[in-house]
Amino acid sequence: MTLSAISNACVLTDQGFVERQTVVIRDGLIDVVADDGEADLSNVNAQNADGRFLLPGFIDIQVNGGGGVLFNDEPTVEGIRAIGAAHRVFGTTGFLPTLISDDLDKVASAIAATDAAIDAGVPGVLGIHLEGPFLSEQKKGAHDASKFRTLDEDAVDLLSSLRRGKTLVTLAPEANYPALIRSLIDAGVIVAAGHTNGTYEETRTALDAGVSGFTHLFNAMSPLTGRAPGVVGAALEDAESWCGIIADGHHVHPASLRIAIAAKPDGLCLLVTDAMPSVGATDKSFELDGRAISVANGKCVTADGTLAGSDLDMAAAVRNAASMLNLDLTQAVRMGSKYPAAAIHLDHELGSIKPGYRANLVLADADLNIVDTWIDGESGQ
């Protein structure tokens, strides 16, 4: 049995921030959350948080790379480990390594690597996000359209083959048969709409088939207009689906994000980074499908100016949500922890600080600079 504790913390609970709290961790799980002095700390190594914030660990469901590694280029256990380590210093304690549209043999390699990484206990990896290749050429963004294809039964079998963790697939509803989308969902895959030029009606059909979310809302999808609500209109109207948002000040105007948050029920707008290898790397330059990507002021672009992921980390995303979107810190943090946990059906064990949950935690100062992290009770220091 392993036992540790964090005391004198300002803890984000389901009721909000509570000061002078002690969190006891037993065998990787949160055992006790109590007022300082009420928890039994005899024979326990307790770390003094000095009144700083103790938050649920951030969960990023769209991580293309980090630490100089692009998942497409290194779909290996070590590649996943390097990406996770790069993001952990910014408070990400759970993530989905994300494969951008590629050939199906690369998809198979990425799935196998994710399985192996979870089996090996690589810290933080919760599954995989396959962003494509079942997308719309009209809304390809920085993806290589030569890799695009449509769902068939063999692809459904491949996409649902992960044995450990969660699988999230982003696809264009109009480019794939609803019955095959339903088959994917019935096989346990979480499906989101993205890189799609679909109509409102096509998107509504996909939601009825079980699509449960939208990948980087507003980006690479048909917009909301007066006579054609498009994918964005369907997303904002729907009261059950979640929407990932990139709060970096480059992908979407903050006013548009504020409108989305006002339109959606609480808990259904969540933060993602769409991070590229530049996050956590000294050398910010990298290549995507042989194309040079320039990175400046947190913005990643191709030579023609197309956005190619982001240089955003989750701590910055949470700070931006509070400052750009006029949210209180409680909601901003939940958008980076509790809400993504719910989107991938892990909110029964992650995203909150309460007994029985996994001890995935972040200690942060008043400016949300990360002081320490815990993954399954293990400190990152």
Question: Tens of pLDDT along 57-80?
Answer: 999 999 999 999 999 999 999 999
Placement of tokens 């914030």 in the chain: 53
Q: Does 373 have pLDDT greater than 90?
A: yes
SS3 track for 123-146 = CCECEEEEECCCCCHHHCCCCCHH
Q: Does 42 have pLDDT greater than 90?
A: no
Average pLDDT over residues 272-293: 92
Name the token pair of 323.
């400052």
Q: Where are the domains of the chain?
A: 3-55+353-379, 58-343
Known catalytic membership, residue 144: no
What pLDDT score was predicted for residue 162?
Answer: 98
What pLDDT score was predicted for residue 256?
Answer: 98
Average pLDDT, the chain: 96
Looking at CATH, the fold of the domain delimited by 58-343 is given as TIM Barrel (3.20.20)
pLDDT-derived band at 40 (thresholds 50, 70, 90) equals: confident
pLDDT-derived band at 39 (thresholds 50, 70, 90) equals: confident
Rounded Cα gap, residues 48 and 52, in angstroms: 9
Rounded Cα gap, residues 332 and 368, in angstroms: 11
Nearest-10 crossing angle of helices 254-263, 230-237: 40
Average pLDDT over residues 130-136: 98
Q: Are strands 166-171 and 190-193 parallel, antiparallel or unpaired?
A: parallel
Q: Does 117 have pLDDT greater than 80?
A: yes
Q: Does 381 have pLDDT greater than 90?
A: no
pLDDT-derived band at 340 (thresholds 50, 70, 90) equals: very high
Measured in degrees and rounded to the nearest 5, phi and psi for residue 372 equal: -160, 160
CATH, range 3-55+353-379 = 2.30.40.10
Q: How distant, in Å, are the alpha carbons of 163, 219, 372 from that of 223?
A: 36, 9, 40
Could you read off the pLDDT of 251-268 as tens digits, one per residue? 999 999 999 999 999 999
Average pLDDT over residues 220-239: 98
Which residues have CB under 8 Å from 203's CB, separation 6+? 173, 193, 196, 211, 230, 231, 234, 235
Across 39-53, 109-123, 161-175, 209-223, least confident range? 39-53
What pLDDT score was predicted for residue 370?
Answer: 98
Instruction: Please pick, among 102, 274, 311, 347, the residue that the annotation labels catalytic.
Output: 274
Could you read off the pLDDT of 231-250 as tens digits, one per residue? 999 999 999 999 999 999 99
Q: Does 222 have pLDDT greater than 80?
A: yes
Within 75-222, strands assigned E span 92-100, 127-131, 166-171, 190-193, 213-214
